[in-house]
Structure 1
Amino acid sequence: MPCLCLQVETSVFMKLRKAGSFNDKLLTDNMTGSYTADTLLKCTSFCASQSLCVSLFFNINNGLCQTHSVVFTDPTSSLVSVNTSYFYITKGNSVLQPIKECDDPPPETGVVWGAGTSFLSSRRPYTCAGALLPKVSDVECHTSGNWTLMSDFCRDLESCEDVQMCSSTNLDGTYQLYPPVLGGHGVNIYCHNMATVPQAYVTLFEENMSRNDYSLRTWTFPCIFQDRVGDATAYFNKISVSLVDMSVNRDDYTFAVTCQESPSRSIPGFGEAGGCSHDYMWRDYRQCPAPGVFVINTNGTGLKISPTCSWSADGAYGSRVEPIEWSSDGLKIQTTFDAWCGSFKPDALYLEYSSSSDIRGIATIPTCPPN
């Protein structure tokens, strides 16, 4: 068998050997490069410059030079390529193997590795079993001998978009998700609009209501009041949240029951109250409480309003708000408010994990076929 000497290493010759069974044939699997070379020696130099190259195809007429990381032995599936020859490298009497830089990726429960090599710069795809997603699309073998990730290849589902990514068959419903901002705690999230742009909601199990009340009341006991048309109330069954920071969209009424007596009276958002009574200044609040009110109760969600949240009052001619009542476990917040046309609103509302709250309802385990 003809051969071409490449180099000498302590009397061990590196030889380029021709495989006659591949004459006028070409394979494109496991390529490490494709070049144009005017001579076989030039093509060989391209191969010698690569740590992965152990064989090559060279066409003497058009100069096609393909380098490969495997030594082929079966020409059955090859393409016809007239004037092409195939060569592989031997070291002494042994077929040269590519430089191996990484061990196989470590086994991990739930990780299914795709086909691939473990040589320098090789990439290995993988999938995650169950309700998990890969942290990256694939891992790469680095010169350090380590892969891009060496452990913890998969992550929990963090958002409704993740549920949608798992499978387009996942419909609107409640799923257990793990928003990173909650520090690894799982909560039940209702995913809405899964066929288009998903939106996350927290389902509420207790009364959560906000009211703008425009009744006139007197200080006499019992309270005597005149109800002026224009009250507006909202009862929230679910609240819209951003799972990035767990902020609440207070003006989402998709899952709220609202009552608006007059179009001129705005519906209060979640955690808001309003009023418009010019007699608020002299009313005896011990006998006639303020008409505007909000109640927040997150019991059953595994979440609570962050204690750092604050509210601000405004009124055209002044306002009065009772002290905000927080339950000892932080799950229930309520107060009453009145003004000569004003409102009492939070600057922002954020949810955080609560160890005091149970988690009610049943969450669906997302369908995540191998991706």
Structure 2
Amino acid sequence: MIKVWTASEISLRQVRTRLDLIEPSLAIWSGFNYPFIWCGLECLKEHNCVSLLYNSTEMSCKLFRVIYNEDKDGDDTVKYYILDRGRTRWVPESCKDVATCSGTTTDGEYWIYPQATNRKRVKIFCNNMSSDPLEYITLRNTNSFNEHDKSNWPIMWQQCQSSYIPPLKRADFQKVGIQIQTMEVNGLDFTFALLTGTPTISYGEIRDCNGESFRSPCPHFARATINTKGTGLVIDPSLTWGVIKGHYPEIRNFQKSTDDSEISFTCAGWCARCGPASGPIIFQYQLRMHKP
């Protein structure tokens, strides 16, 4: 049950949320040795205060101009209070909002509420916060894409060679850049990618130049591995994967997990580029999977 405390002009609605959902850096005021009612009065005095976190053991008070999502089902929930005085809810929709609201210049992970996810919270890595903030998704598992081209041919212009001259050009992404307004991937942003050589492919693309797809036997060396587990996001399930361009090209061995978080495929052609065929890569909010 949600309780309401009222004292003078203060009306505080108690809800529960997880402590890890609250960003301490966004506190507009904090103090210690404050009784709960004084904490509420401080919030009322602060023009931008819409919520507060109170620790009765420490008698500590933190005030926020952000209203965080409720979470009643988490294992480690805390009491959290929302000031009811007719304020419009405000949440940061971008890293620039976080920087403007809190004054922080520290790069790191923050909860963002993009319009593209209907303001469902998403953990975003904010980079370059001291000047022009940019948004990235931190990938818990490296996402890898490689490129086989004529520089890898042991014999020039011979198709279906059984081996290649290493290394293959490669991009291993630890974070991927996005346009926060649309959640579209900036596939050529290699800020947080480990590069082998100078690949011409972007996030989600691979390229193979070992032989026309109808030839057999004919090995192909281009492979894509996408894994968004743990990010709360998946690539738009309606996106079609296939051939982008090439001579006698074909996408092969395409696999996608039932929860859409894992995708892998290979590519064949002379030369062939495979990847997102129906449009750009756009991240979507992943609905929580219910345990059986």
- Which of the five TM-score ranges fits, normalised by the shorter chain? 0.5 to 0.7
Question: How far apart, in 2, do the equivalents of 1:310 and 1:107 lie?
Answer: 51
Map 1:151-300; keep pairs closer than 5 Å. Answer: 151-214=86-149, 225-228=162-165, 231-260=168-197, 266-278=199-211, 280-284=213-217, 288=219, 290-300=220-230
Which residue of the partner structure matches residue 308 of structure 1?
A: 238
TM-score using structure 2 length: 0.65
| Structure 1 contact 324–334 (Cα < 8 Å) conserved | yes
Question: How far apart, in 2, do the equivalents of 1:341 and 1:205 lie?
Answer: 32
| Structure 1 contact 133–166 (Cα < 8 Å) conserved | no
Q: Deviations over 1:232-267 (max 9, x none)?
A: 10000000112212111111100000101xx5xx33
Structure 1 residues not aligned, in runs of 5+: 1-104, 116-124, 135-148, 218-222, 359-371
| Structure 2 contact 207–274 (Cα < 8 Å) conserved | yes
| Structure 1 contact 132–157 (Cα < 8 Å) conserved | no
Question: How far apart, in 2, do the equivalents of 1:319 and 1:355 lie?
Answer: 35
TM-score using structure 1 length: 0.52
Map 1:86-165; keep pairs closer than 5 Å. Answer: 112=43, 126-129=48-51, 130-133=63-66, 151-165=86-100
| Structure 1 contact 189–201 (Cα < 8 Å) conserved | yes
Instruction: Name the CA shift for 1:240/1:357 in 2 (closer, same or farther; >3 Å).
Output: farther
SS in 2 for 1:155: coil
Which residue of the partner structure matches residue 31 of structure 1?
A: none
Which residue of the partner structure matches residue 285 of structure 2?
A: 353
| Residue-pair matches, total | 220
Instruction: Name the CA shift for 1:357/1:248 in 2 (closer, same or farther; >3 Å).
Output: farther
- Deviation at residue 170 of structure 1 after TM alignment: 4.1
Which residue of the partner structure matches residue 73 of structure 1?
A: none
- Deviation at residue 157 of structure 1 after TM alignment: 2.0
- Deviation at residue 180 of structure 1 after TM alignment: 2.5
**CA RMSD, 1 decimal:** 3.2
Candidates 319, 325, 331, aligned match of 2:255: 325
| Structure 1 contact 299–357 (Cα < 8 Å) conserved | no
Instruction: Name the CA shift for 1:294/1:187 in 2 (closer, same or farther; >3 Å).
Output: same
SS in 2 for 1:189: strand
Question: How far apart, in 2, do the equivalents of 1:247 and 1:313 lie?
Answer: 20
Which residue of the partner structure matches residue 337 of structure 1?
A: 267
Instruction: Name the CA shift for 1:357/1:173 in 2 (closer, same or farther; >3 Å).
Output: farther
Question: How far apart, in 1, do the equivalents of 2:286 and 2:114 lie?
Answer: 14
Q: Deviations over 1:181-220 (max 9, x none)?
A: 2234222111000000000111001131011123569xxx
SS in 2 for 1:194: coil
Q: 1:242 corresponds to which letter in structure 2? A: Q
* Identical-residue share of aligned pairs (%): 26
Question: How far apart, in 2, do the equivalents of 1:275 and 1:164 lie?
Answer: 43
- Deviation at residue 316 of structure 1 after TM alignment: 4.3
Question: How far apart, in 2, do the equivalents of 1:150 and 1:113 lie?
Answer: 9
Instruction: Name the CA shift for 1:108/1:243 in 2 (closer, same or farther; >3 Å).
Output: farther
SS in 2 for 1:250: coil
Which residue of the partner structure matches residue 64 of structure 1?
A: none
Q: 2:206 corresponds to which letter in structure 1? A: A
Question: How far apart, in 2, do the equivalents of 1:311 and 1:295 lie?
Answer: 13
Question: How far apart, in 2, do the equivalents of 1:154 and 1:191 lie?
Answer: 22
Structure 2 residues not aligned, in runs of 5+: 1-8, 14-39, 52-62, 68-83, 155-159
Instruction: Name the CA shift for 1:240/1:315 in 2 (closer, same or farther; >3 Å).
Output: closer
